[in-house]
Amino acid sequence: MLAYPTAINRLRIVKIQEVKRESPTIKTFAFYDRLCGKAKPGQFVMVWIPGVDEVPMSLSAIRPDGLSSITVANVGEATKTLHQRKPSDALGIRGPYGNGFTLNSGKVMIVGGGTGLTPLVPLAEKLVGLTTKIAFLLGAKTRDELLFLDRIETTFSRADARIIATTEDGSYGWQGVVTDPAEQILMKERFDTIYACGPEQMMHQMFLTAERYNTPLQASLERLMHCAMGLCGSCVIGKFRVCRDGPVFSTEQLREVKSEFGRFKRSFDRRKIGL
């Protein structure tokens, strides 16, 4: 517990500053919080929706002045209630928790799918100026569900970067899944680091591709998290606790849990269930 200062664990009440609709089912909620302003891309917070539940969320914006945001899909009771919140409504915040992405220089590839783009955009904003070249690949089922495209284009407007969008229905960019152009690029070019976040089966495919081309990978995993401090065991994958040892894992760590990664997660009663 000494690794977790009291201020981080203490529930802070924040007011929603702005609500932005990103897609028909996804909204971004902005708020001010001093500790979140010091977070690393890839870390997460526990968000308390009064009267409903507390759920883990990646930070989709991190600013030094403390203006931060979470980007949330409407997929359950807690997120449905959160989607009804308006500016000036209150939320509870704990964190930030976990290990974020390690910022590497050189030539990097960023691969994100769906709401997995949430922690990758603040990562990209940190990498601009640090890396020599960036390829940012983002995917979704349809154009309406393709997140943060304008923000990504603005971020890289003065950088040596490629932005490749994919949609499964072909309504924008490449038709197919985001791992397809990623592999085509890796067949021809060498990268120093790959960063990935999205559906776990997508990340598992990127892990296999990264191994094939001998490229280091950092992937952000999602699991059920109740305590966020490594005590309850709800987020275990192999020998690791995602809330403490992750949520960002390296190639070396993923090799140690390859019997579970991309195949199983834990249910509310901690049983393994297939992905």
Who's near 212: CB < 8 A, 6+ residues apart?
Answer: 186
**Residue 175: how many CB atoms within 10 A of its CB?**
12
Mean pLDDT, residues 106-115: 95
Strands 248-250 and 236-237: unpaired
Mean pLDDT, residues 246-275: 80
Q: Is the pLDDT of residue 107 over 60?
A: yes
* Tens digit of each residue's pLDDT (9 = 90 or more) over 198-249: 999 999 999 999 999 999 999 999 887 777 777 777 788 888 988 899 899 9
Confidence of residue 274 (pLDDT cuts 50, 70, 90): low
| Cα separation of the two ends of the chain | 32
* Res 267: pLDDT: 63
Q: Is the pLDDT of residue 271 over 80?
A: no
Structure tokens at 263: 């195949």
Who's near 185: CB < 8 A, 6+ residues apart?
Answer: 109, 135, 137
CB-based contact 228:94 (threshold 8 Å) = yes
* CA–CA distances in Å: residue 73 to residues 57, 182, 218, 258: 10, 25, 23, 28
* Res 158: pLDDT: 81
* Res 2: pLDDT: 40
* Res 258: pLDDT: 86
* Res 32: pLDDT: 97
Q: Is the pLDDT of residue 1 over 60?
A: no
Confidence of residue 178 (pLDDT cuts 50, 70, 90): very high
Mean pLDDT of the chain: 90
* Res 11: pLDDT: 92
Confidence of residue 264 (pLDDT cuts 50, 70, 90): low
* Tens digit of each residue's pLDDT (9 = 90 or more) over 49-105: 988 889 999 999 999 999 999 999 998 889 999 999 999 999 999 999 999 999 998
Q: Is the pLDDT of residue 134 over 60?
A: yes
Tell me the residue type at 149. Answer: L
Task: Tell me the domains of the chain and their CATH numbers.
Answer: 6-97 (2.40.30.10), 101-218 (3.40.50.80), 221-275 (no CATH)
Mean pLDDT, residues 105-117: 94
Helix axes 200-212, 179-188, angle to 10 degrees: 10
DSSP letter string, 225-240 = -SSSSS-S-TTEETTE
* Res 5: pLDDT: 63
